[in-house]
Homo-oligomer: A and B are copies of this chain.
Amino acid sequence: MSITHATELRLTARPDTDLREDHFELARTEIAPPADGEFLVRNDWMLLSVVMRELMEAEPHPDLPMSAYELGRPPWAPAVGTVVASRSSLFSAGDLVQHVYGFRDHVLAAEGDESFTKLDPTLLPRPEYHLNQGATAWRGMVTLAEAGPGDTVFVSGATTGVGAVAGQIARCRGAKRVIGSTGSKEKIGYLVDDLGFDAAFDYHDGPVAARLAELAPDGIDVFFDNVAGEQFEAAMALAAPNARFVLCGSLSGRNPALDLEPAVLRDVTIRGFTTPYDNDPAWIEHYSRWLREGRFVFPHTVVEGGLAAVPGALVGQMNGRHRGTTLVRL
């Protein structure tokens, strides 16, 4: 097999405030044929997430487990691809694999690289369904909050990749009522009609506390928070006894007047958690089954146009223009 011509997308400048498309540039590279123990992967899909914006900073938040993206190189990103040539005994041509070498259309891998996982192509309806953020949603909604029958569940930021899965997990586990908040009127229909939420509201439509009190007359048992600020405050005021609040992802900054007194008087548990990219077998098992049973929608937005479309898609994601997980078809 001869030299492969490949394309990668490099971060060339750190955004000072807003991210722009010209913070990236496409570059053409060459990849040598696999040597012994190596295999070549053609990337088919990559995932974009909001944490990537933070990793473009020279000094990302010190508590993040990932280091800053390097300038002049393609950043890491979750991706799914197909092995197209192999001199490894572990991976064969045709294998479907998941890894973290997005931002490029091909990658030459060594079989000792533990970031490559072989996928079972029969488990999910399509290869890109593996690039979901469900393990994070599962951790918050099931492992930590233990949402189940009888619970009134509120998900803020419910049209994000994590939020849209979290709400559906609660529904599939028999929650009494699942409520979502989002940032536009048209996304309300998406949550209720497409994803099966019982109710949804646009947080721009007046005080969140009043809107939420109408929609959750029995109080809130489980709150899956992607947003913080006013929505956290409103949920806390409505917390039911023994409520479980889970705080996911980065927050919208300081709360102007956060009152934790209800947490004391109503025995509320609040758990912050970070978002690992590892998959939880329990999540995959339920995801696969719920999809087969037609009870679950993989909430995602497909961006067409390959690597050239990635900078614009990152900007679109930061501006809330996508529904669910953002996936780029490479």
| Binary CB contact string for chain A from 267 to 279 against chain B (1 if under 8 A, 0 otherwise) | 1111111100000
Residues of chain B with a CB closer than 8 A to A312's CB = none
A263 contacts B254, CB within 8 Å? Answer: no
A88 within 8 A of B: no
Task: Out of B61, B257, B260, B273, name the residue touching A272 (CB < 8 Å).
Answer: B260
A247 contacts B260, CB within 8 Å? Answer: yes
Residues of chain B with a CB closer than 8 A to A270's CB = 260, 263, 269-272
Most buried by B among A63, A248, A274: A63
A228 within 8 A of B: yes
| Binary CB contact string for chain A from 250 to 274 against chain B (1 if under 8 A, 0 otherwise) | 1101111111111111111111111
Residues of chain B with a CB closer than 8 A to A274's CB = 264-267
Would you give the shortest CB distance from A228 to chain B, in whole angstroms?
A: 7
Would you give the shortest CB distance from A287 to chain B, in whole angstroms?
A: 23
Most buried by B among A260, A269, A273: A260
| Binary CB contact string for chain A from 30 to 55 against chain B (1 if under 8 A, 0 otherwise) | 00000000000000000000000000
- Copies of this protein in the assembly total 2
Would you give the shortest CB distance from A264 to chain B, in whole angstroms?
A: 4
B228 contacts A262, CB within 8 Å? Answer: no
Would you give the shortest CB distance from A266 to chain B, in whole angstroms?
A: 6
| Given A266-B63, A271-B269, A273-B267: A254 and B251 interface contact (C-beta under 8 Å) | no
Would you give the shortest CB distance from A154 to chain B, in whole angstroms?
A: 17
Would you give the shortest CB distance from A61 to chain B, in whole angstroms?
A: 7
Task: Out of B61, B256, B265, B268, name the residue touching A61 (CB < 8 Å).
Answer: B265
A93 within 8 A of B: no
Residues of chain B with a CB closer than 8 A to A258's CB = 254-255, 258, 260
Cα A257 to Cα B272 with chains together (Å): 18
Residues of chain B with a CB closer than 8 A to A61's CB = 265
Most buried by B among A249, A253, A264, A274: A264
Task: Out of B260, B264, B267, B273, name the residue touching A264 (CB < 8 Å).
Answer: B273
Residues of chain B with a CB closer than 8 A to A63's CB = 262, 265-266
A64 within 8 A of B: yes
B269 contacts A269, CB within 8 Å? Answer: yes
Cα A263 to Cα B255 with chains together (Å): 14
6 further contact pairs, Cβ within 8 A, besides A254-B257, A266-B272, A267-B273: A247-B260, A250-B265, A251-B264, A263-B271, A268-B271, A270-B271
* Sampled A-B contacts (27; CB under 8 Å): A63-B262, A63-B265, A228-B260, A247-B260, A247-B263, A247-B264, A249-B264, A250-B265, A251-B260, A254-B258, A254-B259, A255-B255, A255-B257, A255-B258, A255-B259, A258-B258, A258-B260, A263-B270, A263-B271, A263-B272, A265-B272, A265-B274, A267-B271, A269-B271, A269-B272, A270-B270, A270-B271
A-B pairs, 4 with minimum CB distance: A263-B272, A63-B265, A264-B272, A270-B270
